[in-house]
Chains A and B, each alone.
Chain A
Amino acid sequence: MQSIINSIVKNRNLIIYLFLSFVTFNYLYNNSSVHYSGIGKIGTYISGSTSSISSYISSYFNLRQENNKLIEENLELKKNESQFIDKSDNRDISKNKIDKTIIAKVILNSINKSKNIIVINKGEINGITKEMGVISSKGVVGIIKNITDNYSSIVSLLNTDLKINAILKNSSTIGSISWNGLDPRIVQLNDIPLSSSIKVGDTIVTGGMSFYFPKGIPIGRIEDYNNTSLEGYYSIDVSIFSDFSSLSNLYILQRTDDDEIKFLLNE
């Protein structure tokens, strides 16, 4: 306590000076419009700068929360997008075909095998069933293969067993996407007849002629093609939109008309 008092006594001139300066500035601020606006500007600048610094720092601590918020928002958008895609199709639109989208996190992923499988942290108790389509924010990822209570495995697009119905976005020519097991960034589009007009850069989307995906979900873009085949079909390489090496959040599409279609097929 004594040292505090000593320190105050020692610096009394500075304390008195600062106090009187404050009083004078206050007098200036309250009585002169020039100083009022000038000091006001300085105050705004200081508060703006400090707020931006503190919000910059605090934003780091909120990143996880922000990320979750964005994922939720993305999920909503995906739902809306799939409804829109279905509406663009000329079928009965009285009922949304994508009833629900489930979000999941990737817990196991591989791209270096010929039959790649992805495991996610959602399972039967989350409403996931076999053969549901799985997409990322950029495009098609695969189809649910096996499910347990809490986990599911996905047959990745990078699996030589998987074939997905696809169309050329511009011409609606139907083909199928499969992977030859070589380059994890390139898949092959088959069954496009040589009579079709294609060019490098054309977008490939899902055809909607399967249980798994509605029409119009992006798959990739034509990287290269070969029209010298004797069988009458192009040999097309498609670079996929989804980056399979860095998959994190996936969306599982739950269709409401699955049962109807299956029933018809079984008839």
Chain B
Amino acid sequence: MNRGIVKDITLSLVIILSQLLIFNHMNLSGTANTFIYVSLFILYKTTYDKTYLILFGFLVGLIIDLSLQTYGAHTLASITVCYLREKIEKYSFGVNSILPLAMIRGTRLSNRLTYFFLIIFLHSLIYFSLIFFKFEFTLTIFLYTLINSIINFIVIWIVSKLIFDR
């Protein structure tokens, strides 16, 4: 097995475990949750198979759902983000989306910010829509989505820097 893949799998396990053991128990002022596992879908190399990404998203989402008793909200948000990631890549990086680590280097900062934020925002929006699941809570859904998107964006941006800028 390729060394790079082993490294990526190990990194994935570390992130999932840190989500399960640390970030699942962190709740800032009752509204903000940190979903660091979304970084896995963001940092998944663009050269890897997209079908595996969807299956990987399903698996990770299911593990988080089982641990948080959220009955599929994380899973659905994850597989949707994974399915749409190709389009978000193309929208954010244009022709540079063929670079394996376009989200880290070789592209403009504004493009990377857009890419990060779109995925995190979409994930949060789907997650909170499923959690509240009523039209009466539309405003609350947007509020939670915005707060969580900002917090997750900061955390995931820092994590990605820590991983790749060592």
Contacts and interface: CB of A to CB of B under 8 A. Distances in A.
Interface stretch (A18-26, A46-54, A250-258): A18-26
Given A35-B133, A38-B134, A27 B55 contact: no
B144 to A, nearest CB: 16
Interface in B37-91: 50-51, 54-55, 58, 61, 65, 71-73, 75-76, 79-80, 82-83, 86
Interface of A: 12-14, 16-17, 20-21, 24-25, 27-28, 31-32, 34-35, 38
Contacts of B54: 13, 16-17, 20
B78 to A, nearest CB: 9
Interface of B: 50-51, 54-55, 58, 61, 65, 71-73, 75-76, 79-80, 82-83, 86, 130, 133-134
B51 A32 contact: no
A24 B72 contact: yes
A114 to B, nearest CB: 69
A17 B79 contact: yes
A46 to B, nearest CB: 16
What does DSSP make chain A's interface, helix, strand, loop or mixed?
helix
A20 B56 CA distance: 11
Contacts of B130: 28, 35
Nearest to B74: A24
A13 B50 contact: yes
Given A13-B50, A13-B54, 5 more contacts: A16-B54, A17-B80, A20-B58, A21-B79, A28-B71
A25 B73 CA distance: 9
B51 A25 contact: no
A28 B83 contact: no
Which 10 residue pairs are nearest across A and B when measured between Cβ atoms? A17-B83, A28-B72, A24-B72, A32-B71, A27-B72, A31-B71, A24-B76, A24-B75, A38-B133, A20-B58
**Most chain A beta carbons < 10 A, residue from B54, B58, B72, B133:** B72
